[in-house]
Amino acid sequence: MVGYSVATAHTHIYVLDRLVLSAGPGRENSSHRHFGAILVCAPDAPMTVAAREAPVATQAALIAPSAWHRVDCRNSRAATLLIGPDHPWFCYVKPLLDGKPIVPLDLGKLANAPIPWDALFDGTVACDAARESARQVLQAFGGVSVAPHRLDERIEAVLQLLREDLARTPRIAELSQRSGLSAFTLMRRFKRELGVRIGEYVLWRRLMAALALVDGRSTIAEIALRTGFYDQAHLTRTVRRMVELAPSLINDFNQTRVHVCGEVTRDC
């Protein structure tokens, strides 16, 4: 992966449901946070990653869910993997975080991974290859050297209920009954297990559904209505906060190409 020099015109976003893999030109962003973990690689030159402490220069980094951060990657292209905290592959990164907001990683660990980087940056890779590339990246950094993270079965039951009716705002009393936990214990345990609050998780899932509808033809307002957001402004605020991009940019196929892939996962 190190040594790329070919310019990339588009940002390619592969939506894998609870996983989002993007590859494209690097840039500088303002302080923001995601409701999933972020693994970002800068193949051409070190980037600067900063939380609330001093900036770190690195070519790969893992950023915790909900951690405020900013990235300056203007000197390199960027490959970024957004991992939903409810995804089975989150087990690769949860132990690595160890309570830290940012963990620098060794890019050299990807040297022998069979990842089609050229095709990812060109947007010509098939969905199966994109999904396998995501798994290879996570396994290379986490792999079998860390103990896997398993979700509490009661939290899994709540997640299933939230997935069944994405557009409806969940009632804590109903979720509490489904899990067998008191409302207070449920909210505390959900945050501890996934790193996000229940309301944040619902927005995350709606955003994933919205990304899957991006086709360059549907309006942002139409996508917002179909995925449970109050209106276009609500979706716009959520996208800016979670992925630090404007929906109009994501939906502009002159700058960004969205590749929608189905969900096929294997546990760790």
The CATH number for 206's domain is 1.10.10.60
Q: What is the pLDDT of residue 1?
A: 46
Q: Is 49 helix (H, G, I), strand (E, B) or coil?
A: strand
Residue 2's CB: how many other CB atoms inside 10 A? 15
One domain for residues 79 and 163: no
Is the same domain home to 22 and 113? yes
20: domain CATH number? 2.60.120.10
Distance (Å, rounded) from C-alpha 11 to C-alpha 244? 14
Q: Within this chain, do residues 160 and 189 fall inside the same structural domain, yes or no?
A: yes
Is the same domain home to 136 and 17? yes
Domain identity same for 109 and 206: no
The order of strands in the sheet holding 37-41 is 102-104, 60-63, 37-41, 78-83, 19-24, 11-15, 256-260
- 119 and 230 together in one domain: no
Looking at residue 246, its pLDDT comes to 62
Cα 179 to Cα 80, 86, 165, 184: the distances in Å are 34, 16, 16, 12
Q: Is residue 147 part of a domain?
A: no
Spell out the per-residue pLDDT of the chain, length 268, in tens.
444 444 446 888 888 878 889 898 888 888 877 777 889 999 899 999 988 767 899 999 999 888 888 899 999 999 999 888 778 788 788 888 888 889 999 999 998 888 888 888 888 999 899 999 998 898 888 755 555 567 788 988 888 888 777 777 778 888 898 889 999 999 998 888 877 788 888 888 888 788 778 776 788 888 888 888 888 888 888 877 776 666 665 656 567 788 888 665 555 5
Contacts with 21 (C-beta within 8 Å, 6 or more apart), sequence order: 13, 14, 79, 80, 81, 82, 120, 130, 133, 134
Range of the domain at 113: 11-141
Does some domain include residue 225? yes
State whether 122 and 15 are in the same domain: yes
In a domain, 249, yes or no: no
DSSP bridge pairs for 61: 40, 104
Strands 78-83 and 37-41 come out as antiparallel
Establish if 265 belongs to a structural domain: no
pLDDT at 4: 41
Q: Please state the pTM of the whole predicted model.
A: 0.78
What does the pLDDT read at residue 145?
55
d(CA 268, CA 251): 33
Asked which of 141, 161, 180 is the last residue of a domain, the reply is 141
Q: Are residues 224 and 201 in the same domain?
A: yes
User: Cβ distance 256 to 20 under 8 Å?
Assistant: no
Task: Show the DSSP H helices in the chain as ranges.
Answer: 94-97, 117-122, 127-141, 153-164, 172-179, 183-194, 198-211, 220-226, 232-243, 247-250
Burial of 6 (0-12, 13-18, 19+ CB in 10 A): exposed
Residues 51, 97: one domain?
A: yes
Instruction: Count how many domains the chain has.
Output: 2
Q: What is the pLDDT of residue 219?
A: 84
The number of residues making up the chain comes to 268
Please tell me whether residues 136 and 179 are part of one structural domain: no
Distance between CA atoms of 210 and 208, rounded to whole angstroms? 5
How far from 2 is each of 82, 184, 252, 254, CA to CA, in Å? 21, 48, 29, 27
Helix %, strand %, coil % for the chain, to 5? Answer: 40, 20, 45
pLDDT, residue 5, reads 43
Which has the closest alpha carbon to 191: 238, 155, 148? 155
